[in-house]
Structure 1
Amino acid sequence: MTFAGDDKVLILFRHAKAEQAPGKPDRDRELTHRGRRDAAAAGQWLRDNGFGPELVLCSPAVRTRQTWEAAADGGACGEQVDYDGRLYSGGASGALQVVRESGGEAQVVLVVGHNPTMATLASGLTEGDGSTAAHECLAAGFPTSAVAVIGYAGPWHDLALGSASLLRCHVSRG
């Protein structure tokens, strides 16, 4: 992917399918076998489409960590991986703040998180701007292993609702 000036890409990646484990703390839920396959397929899709993030921001929950590990096994690359608790419990506003504070000079930032945060943030940042097909995909639900690719021009610290464009939406299945 080539960039001009302040062009940036934000990739919002919902974790893959996790186990339903009554009595187990939510943060400790692990991926199912299907979840591991789907996350690896997402990693392959990211690689095949040239979306290589310089920075990966990941929720510290077990299922999000495992999602990124499986995506990397599938071919996704990330130069640096940071974990931030606000991606687990901070909602869309917390996730937006993490991107603003952490994005730095990176041109491609990928966030591995949870729903409804990922879908709400994708929708709010783009407010209908961008690819019609991508918005239809987003509106149809943002299931596990879904990826939203968002274009943005400007410094990360200025990223705001309505300031970006939805370029792609993809649901990975392995």
Structure 2
Amino acid sequence: MQLFLMRHGEAEHHARSDRERALTDAGLHHSGMMSEWLKNSITEFDLVLVSPYLRAMQTWNEVATHFASPKKVKILDELVPAADPDMSSRLVLAYAEQFKAHNVLVVSHMPLLGYMVSELVPGIEPPLFATSSVAMIDFMGKHASLMWQQSPHSIG
């Protein structure tokens, strides 16, 4: 299985709540850039798991315009910024197994994504994720490896 972890695009700083922060124009643009770049690595996602926060859902909506419709999309409260990384990682793997997904995209937040990498790939310190950046973890049997991490600034 290949697991793609994506941080939402740049979001506005002011909103009624953190949950309601919308993407900026730059956030939409960078999410689109990363989607185009991702098309060099993957043609479709079997499963997409998204945080319920507005900026994450807007990021997924932008990514979705660049790919065929996935077999399944789920919005999960367990993917919010302060979620438990161990529980979130186990949940993502359980959904991947349940839906027999080979290519999974998770759209979420920092610091959760960095901690999830550490949970999923033994010995890896939590990496930082710039907005709109993506990391790919490859699962070969029971072993997982962080294959790459890219941001819009490193591809543009």
TM-score, L = length of structure 2:
0.86
Query: Are positions 1:76 and 2:82 aligned together?
Result: no
2:107 is the alignment partner of 1:112:
yes
Cα distance, 1:81–1:120 mapped onto 2, change above 3 Å: same
> CA 1:91–1:15 in 2, change beyond 3 Å: closer, same or farther?
farther
2:14 to 17, 21, 36: 21
Whole-Å separation in 1 of the counterparts to 2:39 and 2:137: 16
C-alpha separation between the residues in 2 aligned to 1:43 and 1:123? Answer: 24
What is the CA–CA distance in structure 1 between the aligned matches of 2:114 and 2:86, rounded to whole Å? 12
Q: Which residue of 1 aligns with 2:118?
A: 123
Per-residue CA deviations over 1:36-59 (Å, capped at 9, x if unaligned) read: 001111111121222521000001
Can you list the C-alpha shifts for 1:35-83, whole angstroms capped at 9, x where unaligned?
000111111112122252100000111000000111122x134332111
What does residue 52 of structure 1 align with? 44
Equivalent residue for 2:89, pick from 89, 96, 105: 96
Q: Paired residues, what number?
A: 150
Secondary structure at the aligned position of 2:135 is classed as strand
Gaps of 5+ in 1: 1-7, 130-134
The amino acid across from 1:113 in the alignment is: S
Q: In the alignment, what sits opposite 2:140?
A: 153
Equivalent residue for 1:168? 148
The answer to whether residue 60 in structure 2 is matched with residue 87 in structure 1 is no
Query: 2:119 & 2:23 partners in 1: Cα distance?
Result: 28
Once residues 21 and 53 of structure 1 are traced to their aligned partners in structure 2, the CA distance between those partners, rounded to angstroms, is: 32
Partner Cα distance (1:114, 1:42) in 2: 16
Aligned-partner residue type, residue 135 of structure 2 = A
What's the offset of the Cα at 1:146? Answer: 1.1
Gaps of 5+ in 2: none
Pick from 26, 33, 36: which aligns with 2:28?
A: 36
Structure 2 CA distance, aligned partners of 1:37 and 1:81?
A: 22
Match of 2:55 among 57, 60, 63: 63
Q: Residue type of the partner of 1:107?
A: H
